[in-house]
Amino acid sequence: MVIADELAVVQSCNRFLSRAGHEVESVLTVQEAVGKLDETEYDVILFDLKLAGNGGAELMERLKAAHPNTPVIVLHGLATLAASEILGHGTYESIPKPISSDTLFMAMSWALQQRTMRLQAKLSTEDLGDEFGELVGNGPAMIALFRLIQKIAPTNATVLIIGHKGAGKKRVARALHRISPRRVEPYLDSSSGVNRGIELSRILFGEVESHFGVDDYEPGKIRLASRGTLYLNEISRLDHWGQHQMISAIKQRT
Protein backbone atom coordinates (compact mmCIF):
# COMPACT_ATOMS: atom_id res chain seq x y z
CA MET A 1 0.00 0.00 0.00
CA VAL A 2 1.17 3.51 -0.87
CA ILE A 3 0.45 6.26 1.69
CA ALA A 4 1.23 9.68 0.18
CA ASP A 5 -0.57 13.01 -0.23
CA GLU A 6 1.15 13.91 -3.51
CA LEU A 7 -0.72 12.56 -6.51
CA ALA A 8 2.49 12.46 -8.57
CA VAL A 9 4.16 10.21 -6.00
CA VAL A 10 1.14 7.91 -5.87
CA GLN A 11 0.98 7.68 -9.66
CA SER A 12 4.70 6.94 -9.98
CA CYS A 13 4.56 4.15 -7.39
CA ASN A 14 1.41 2.67 -8.92
CA ARG A 15 2.88 2.72 -12.42
CA PHE A 16 6.24 1.19 -11.52
CA LEU A 17 4.84 -1.49 -9.19
CA SER A 18 1.93 -2.48 -11.44
CA ARG A 19 4.31 -3.00 -14.35
CA ALA A 20 6.36 -5.31 -12.10
CA GLY A 21 3.27 -7.41 -11.37
CA HIS A 22 2.42 -6.09 -7.90
CA GLU A 23 -1.13 -5.31 -6.78
CA VAL A 24 -1.17 -1.77 -5.42
CA GLU A 25 -3.58 0.15 -3.20
CA SER A 26 -3.12 3.85 -2.51
CA VAL A 27 -4.45 6.36 0.02
CA LEU A 28 -3.88 10.09 0.30
CA THR A 29 -4.37 10.58 4.05
CA VAL A 30 -3.37 8.95 7.33
CA GLN A 31 -7.04 8.54 8.24
CA GLU A 32 -7.68 6.48 5.10
CA ALA A 33 -4.60 4.40 5.85
CA VAL A 34 -5.82 3.60 9.38
CA GLY A 35 -9.09 2.28 8.00
CA LYS A 36 -7.32 0.10 5.43
CA LEU A 37 -4.79 -1.29 7.91
CA ASP A 38 -7.55 -2.27 10.32
CA GLU A 39 -9.03 -4.48 7.59
CA THR A 40 -6.02 -5.78 5.65
CA GLU A 41 -2.43 -6.87 6.21
CA TYR A 42 -0.20 -5.67 3.38
CA ASP A 43 3.09 -7.15 2.22
CA VAL A 44 4.84 -3.75 2.13
CA ILE A 45 3.91 -0.18 3.09
CA LEU A 46 5.34 2.81 1.20
CA PHE A 47 4.98 5.88 3.39
CA ASP A 48 5.62 9.50 2.37
CA LEU A 49 7.55 11.27 5.12
CA LYS A 50 5.60 14.48 4.44
CA LEU A 51 2.74 12.90 6.39
CA ALA A 52 4.89 12.36 9.50
CA GLY A 53 3.58 15.54 11.12
CA ASN A 54 -0.04 14.70 10.34
CA GLY A 55 -0.39 11.60 12.46
CA GLY A 56 2.12 9.61 10.44
CA ALA A 57 4.42 8.81 13.36
CA GLU A 58 1.47 7.44 15.35
CA LEU A 59 0.43 5.43 12.29
CA MET A 60 3.86 3.82 12.12
CA GLU A 61 3.70 2.87 15.80
CA ARG A 62 0.25 1.39 15.26
CA LEU A 63 1.42 -0.49 12.20
CA LYS A 64 4.42 -2.07 13.92
CA ALA A 65 2.24 -3.16 16.84
CA ALA A 66 -0.56 -4.64 14.72
CA HIS A 67 1.50 -5.91 11.75
CA PRO A 68 5.07 -6.51 12.98
CA ASN A 69 5.97 -8.54 9.88
CA THR A 70 5.08 -5.75 7.43
CA PRO A 71 8.13 -3.74 6.32
CA VAL A 72 7.82 0.01 5.72
CA ILE A 73 9.64 1.95 3.00
CA VAL A 74 9.87 5.68 3.69
CA LEU A 75 9.71 8.09 0.76
CA HIS A 76 11.50 11.34 1.58
CA GLY A 77 12.75 14.54 0.04
CA LEU A 78 15.29 15.54 2.70
CA ALA A 79 17.34 13.69 5.35
CA THR A 80 15.45 15.20 8.26
CA LEU A 81 15.37 14.29 11.92
CA ALA A 82 11.86 12.96 11.39
CA ALA A 83 13.27 10.48 8.87
CA SER A 84 15.66 9.14 11.48
CA GLU A 85 12.82 8.79 13.95
CA ILE A 86 10.61 6.95 11.47
CA LEU A 87 13.45 4.64 10.48
CA GLY A 88 14.04 3.90 14.14
CA HIS A 89 10.56 2.41 14.32
CA GLY A 90 11.65 -0.63 12.34
CA THR A 91 11.59 0.61 8.72
CA TYR A 92 13.65 -1.49 6.38
CA GLU A 93 14.45 1.07 3.70
CA SER A 94 14.11 4.69 2.66
CA ILE A 95 14.24 6.10 -0.85
CA PRO A 96 14.48 9.71 -2.07
CA LYS A 97 12.02 11.60 -4.22
CA PRO A 98 11.64 11.90 -7.15
CA ILE A 99 11.32 8.12 -7.27
CA SER A 100 13.22 6.10 -9.84
CA SER A 101 12.08 2.63 -10.86
CA ASP A 102 15.47 1.05 -10.09
CA THR A 103 15.60 2.47 -6.56
CA LEU A 104 12.01 1.45 -5.88
CA PHE A 105 12.51 -2.11 -7.14
CA MET A 106 15.65 -2.56 -5.03
CA ALA A 107 13.83 -1.34 -1.92
CA MET A 108 10.83 -3.58 -2.66
CA SER A 109 13.05 -6.62 -3.19
CA TRP A 110 14.79 -6.09 0.15
CA ALA A 111 11.52 -5.44 2.01
CA LEU A 112 9.80 -8.55 0.60
CA GLN A 113 12.81 -10.67 1.45
CA GLN A 114 12.75 -9.42 5.04
CA ARG A 115 9.01 -10.09 5.32
CA THR A 116 9.47 -13.65 4.08
CA MET A 117 12.26 -14.31 6.57
CA ARG A 118 10.18 -12.98 9.47
CA LEU A 119 7.15 -15.05 8.52
CA GLN A 120 9.26 -18.20 8.16
CA ALA A 121 10.81 -17.63 11.58
CA LYS A 122 7.37 -17.02 13.11
CA LEU A 123 5.94 -20.21 11.58
CA SER A 124 8.97 -22.23 12.64
CA THR A 125 8.63 -21.03 16.21
CA GLU A 126 4.92 -21.82 16.27
CA ASP A 127 5.57 -25.30 14.88
CA LEU A 128 7.99 -25.97 17.70
CA GLY A 129 5.30 -25.28 20.30
CA ASP A 130 6.14 -25.01 24.00
CA GLU A 131 8.57 -27.92 24.07
CA PHE A 132 11.59 -25.74 24.69
CA GLY A 133 10.28 -23.81 27.69
CA GLU A 134 13.30 -21.85 28.91
CA LEU A 135 14.91 -21.50 25.47
CA VAL A 136 13.63 -18.35 23.82
CA GLY A 137 14.33 -16.87 20.39
CA ASN A 138 13.15 -16.95 16.80
CA GLY A 139 16.31 -16.02 14.92
CA PRO A 140 17.92 -18.41 12.42
CA ALA A 141 20.52 -19.62 14.95
CA MET A 142 17.89 -20.47 17.58
CA ILE A 143 15.62 -22.17 15.05
CA ALA A 144 18.59 -24.30 13.95
CA LEU A 145 19.29 -25.17 17.62
CA PHE A 146 15.65 -26.17 18.19
CA ARG A 147 15.70 -28.41 15.12
CA LEU A 148 18.95 -30.04 16.25
CA ILE A 149 17.51 -30.73 19.70
CA GLN A 150 14.43 -32.28 18.09
CA LYS A 151 16.67 -34.51 15.99
CA ILE A 152 18.92 -35.67 18.85
CA ALA A 153 16.42 -35.99 21.72
CA PRO A 154 14.77 -39.27 20.59
CA THR A 155 18.16 -41.02 20.46
CA ASN A 156 20.36 -42.36 23.25
CA ALA A 157 23.39 -40.46 22.01
CA THR A 158 25.90 -38.88 24.38
CA VAL A 159 25.69 -35.14 23.68
CA LEU A 160 28.52 -32.63 24.11
CA ILE A 161 27.14 -29.14 24.80
CA ILE A 162 29.70 -26.38 24.29
CA GLY A 163 29.36 -22.76 25.38
CA HIS A 164 30.76 -20.13 27.71
CA LYS A 165 29.39 -19.67 31.22
CA GLY A 166 25.84 -18.38 31.12
CA ALA A 167 25.24 -19.41 27.51
CA GLY A 168 22.38 -21.71 28.47
CA LYS A 169 23.96 -25.18 28.43
CA LYS A 170 21.74 -26.42 31.26
CA ARG A 171 18.66 -25.16 29.44
CA VAL A 172 19.65 -27.12 26.35
CA ALA A 173 20.16 -30.24 28.49
CA ARG A 174 16.74 -29.83 30.08
CA ALA A 175 15.13 -29.32 26.67
CA LEU A 176 16.78 -32.51 25.38
CA HIS A 177 15.30 -34.40 28.33
CA ARG A 178 11.88 -32.75 28.14
CA ILE A 179 11.12 -33.81 24.54
CA SER A 180 12.78 -37.23 24.71
CA PRO A 181 11.26 -40.65 25.54
CA ARG A 182 13.24 -40.37 28.81
CA ARG A 183 11.13 -37.46 30.09
CA VAL A 184 9.15 -39.77 32.42
CA GLU A 185 12.43 -40.75 34.11
CA PRO A 186 14.69 -38.54 36.30
CA TYR A 187 16.68 -35.56 35.04
CA LEU A 188 19.73 -35.14 37.27
CA ASP A 189 22.43 -32.47 37.39
CA SER A 190 25.88 -33.67 38.47
CA SER A 191 26.96 -30.23 39.72
CA SER A 192 24.42 -29.96 42.54
CA GLY A 193 26.21 -29.45 45.86
CA VAL A 194 29.69 -30.18 44.49
CA ASN A 195 32.73 -28.34 45.80
CA ARG A 196 35.60 -30.76 45.21
CA GLY A 197 36.55 -33.51 42.78
CA ILE A 198 36.26 -36.20 45.47
CA GLU A 199 32.70 -35.11 46.22
CA LEU A 200 31.85 -35.22 42.51
CA SER A 201 33.18 -38.78 42.21
CA ARG A 202 31.06 -39.83 45.19
CA ILE A 203 27.96 -38.10 43.82
CA LEU A 204 28.37 -39.65 40.38
CA PHE A 205 29.46 -43.19 41.24
CA GLY A 206 28.04 -43.64 44.73
CA GLU A 207 29.79 -44.94 47.81
CA VAL A 208 29.68 -47.75 50.32
CA GLU A 209 29.22 -46.84 53.97
CA SER A 210 29.63 -49.26 56.85
CA HIS A 211 27.25 -49.10 59.79
CA PHE A 212 27.95 -51.52 62.64
CA GLY A 213 29.76 -53.91 60.33
CA VAL A 214 27.07 -53.81 57.62
CA ASP A 215 27.94 -52.30 54.26
CA ASP A 216 25.34 -49.91 52.90
CA TYR A 217 25.62 -48.89 49.23
CA GLU A 218 24.39 -45.43 48.27
CA PRO A 219 23.96 -45.30 44.47
CA GLY A 220 25.41 -42.40 42.50
CA LYS A 221 23.66 -40.19 40.00
CA ILE A 222 24.90 -42.23 37.03
CA ARG A 223 22.93 -45.22 38.27
CA LEU A 224 19.96 -43.15 39.42
CA ALA A 225 19.68 -41.52 36.00
CA SER A 226 20.28 -44.71 34.03
CA ARG A 227 16.89 -44.53 32.29
CA GLY A 228 16.67 -40.75 32.32
CA THR A 229 19.10 -37.92 31.58
CA LEU A 230 22.25 -36.94 33.45
CA TYR A 231 23.74 -33.51 32.85
CA LEU A 232 27.47 -33.73 33.54
CA ASN A 233 28.85 -30.35 34.54
CA GLU A 234 32.37 -29.44 35.67
CA ILE A 235 33.65 -33.00 35.16
CA SER A 236 37.14 -31.51 34.94
CA ARG A 237 36.96 -31.51 38.76
CA LEU A 238 36.99 -35.32 38.86
CA ASP A 239 40.01 -36.95 40.44
CA HIS A 240 42.13 -39.42 38.44
CA TRP A 241 40.07 -42.44 39.49
CA GLY A 242 36.84 -40.63 38.70
CA GLN A 243 38.00 -39.70 35.19
CA HIS A 244 38.73 -43.35 34.35
CA GLN A 245 35.36 -44.38 35.76
CA MET A 246 33.63 -41.70 33.73
CA ILE A 247 35.24 -42.85 30.47
CA SER A 248 34.15 -46.40 31.22
CA ALA A 249 30.61 -45.31 32.10
CA ILE A 250 30.22 -43.32 28.88
CA LYS A 251 31.51 -46.21 26.77
CA GLN A 252 29.35 -48.82 28.50
CA ARG A 253 26.44 -46.45 29.24
CA THR A 254 26.12 -47.94 32.73
- Distance (Å, whole) CA 97 – CA 111: 18
pTM of the model: 0.49
Task: Please give the chain's pLDDT, 254 residues, in tens.
Answer: 999 999 999 999 999 998 888 889 999 998 899 888 888 888 899 998 888 676 777 888 888 888 888 888 988 876 544 555 555 555 568 888 889 999 999 998 888 888 777 776 665 555 555 567 677 777 788 888 888 988 898 888 889 998 888 888 989 999 898 888 888 788 888 765 555 555 777 778 877 666 555 556 677 788 887 778 888 887 777 778 878 888 888 777 65
Residues 101 and 194 in one domain: no
Residues 174 and 112 in one domain: no
Per the DSSP assignment, residues forming a β-bridge with 187 are 229
Please give the pLDDT value at position 81. 42
Please give the pLDDT value at position 244. 84
Residues 170 and 231 in one domain: yes
Please give the pLDDT value at position 4. 92
CA distances for 109 relative to 71, 113, 121, angstroms: 11, 6, 19
Please give the pLDDT value at position 210. 62
- Distance (Å, whole) CA 18 – CA 149: 45
Answer for the pair 87, 67: CB distance below 8 angstroms, yes or no: no
DSSP 100: P
- For residue 104, give the CATH number of its domain: 3.40.50.2300
Residues 26 and 96 in one domain: yes
- Domain end marker among 93, 124, 155: 124
Residues 116 and 158 in one domain: no
Q: Give residue 36's domain range.
A: 2-124
- Distance (Å, whole) CA 205 – CA 200: 8
Residues 100 and 146 in one domain: no
Residues 10 and 120 in one domain: yes
Residues 216 and 239 in one domain: yes
Please give the pLDDT value at position 27. 93
- Domain end marker among 89, 104, 124: 124
Among 53, 98, 48, 44, CA closest to 72 = 44
The number of distinct structural domains making up the chain is 2
- For residue 229, give the CATH number of its domain: 3.40.50.300
